[in-house]
């Protein structure tokens, strides 16, 4: 039996370059983001740049493991600066799709490709190693709490 897609860790940062903090629960607010995170308060590095998908960012733990295995770049899950770290789901397939994380409903908007800012904060080789597997950007359709261990599923 295949393992269910789930959240394995959660991370927030209070402002753009602040270290990511690992938490066990977050509150997602439709149209705003994750309470306590830099983009909720509009203090993220890219808050002044137009674009969607900054409400929630997700990345697969499998991508972080591949970064270590293939590029010899070893990072803690929070160091990749994504809010939700997942297991057992191909996030690239969620672009344009509505999905649930626990009771929260999200809509995948675009890939979360690595940038120079991430490379500056996380270290050399991160951007190259996460191209096309740097995660997913999503908007919050219906808010609520997300906890470590919550299931992830596409909405029919």
Is the CATH code 2.40.33.20 the one for domain 6-154? yes
Q: Over range 139-156, report the average pLDDT.
A: 95
Q: List residues bridging with 99 in a β-sheet.
A: 106, 154
Where are the domains positioned within the chain?
Answer: 6-154
Per-residue CA distances from 8 to 25, 44, 59, 119, 154 (Å): 11, 23, 10, 23, 18
pLDDT, the chain, mean: 85
Q: Over range 51-71, report the average pLDDT.
A: 85
pLDDT of residue 92: 94
Give the burial class of 137: count Cβ atoms within 10 A of its Cβ; 0-12 exposed, 13-18 middle, 19 or more buried.
Answer: buried
Band the pLDDT of 1: cuts 50, 70, 90. very low
Question: Nearest to residue 88, comparing CAs of 1, 7, 29, 142?
Answer: 7
pTM for this structure? 0.87
CB atoms within 10 A of CB 153: 13
Tell me which long-range contacts 59-62 makes (C-beta under 8 A, separation of at least 24).
Answer: 59/84, 59/85, 59/86, 59/91, 59/112, 59/134, 59/135, 59/136, 60/85, 60/86, 60/87, 60/89, 60/90, 60/91, 60/133, 60/135, 61/8, 61/9, 61/85, 61/86, 61/87, 62/87
CB atoms within 10 A of CB 27: 16
**pLDDT for 88-128, tens place per residue?**
999 999 999 999 999 999 999 998 767 675 666 566 767 77
């Amino acid at each position: 039996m295949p393992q269910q897609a789930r959240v394995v860790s959660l991370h927030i940062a209070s402002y753009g370059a602040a270290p990511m903090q690992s938490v066990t629960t977050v509150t997602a607010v439709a149209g705003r983001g994750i309470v306590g995170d830099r983009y909720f308060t509009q203090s993220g590095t890219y808050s002044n740049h137009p674009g969607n998908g900054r409400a929630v960012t997700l990345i697969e733990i499998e991508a972080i493991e591949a970064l270590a295995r293939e590029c010899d770049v070893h990072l803690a899950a929070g160091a990749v600066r994504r809010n939700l770290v997942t297991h057992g789901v191909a996030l690239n397939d969620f672009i344009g799709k509505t999905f649930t994380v626990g009771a929260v409903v999200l809509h995948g908007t675009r890939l979360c490709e690595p940038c120079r800012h991430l490379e500056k904060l996380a270290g050399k080789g991160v951007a190259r190693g996460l191209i096309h597997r740097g995660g997913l950007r999503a908007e919050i359709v219906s808010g609520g709490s997300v906890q470590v261990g919550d299931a992830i599923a596409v909405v029919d």
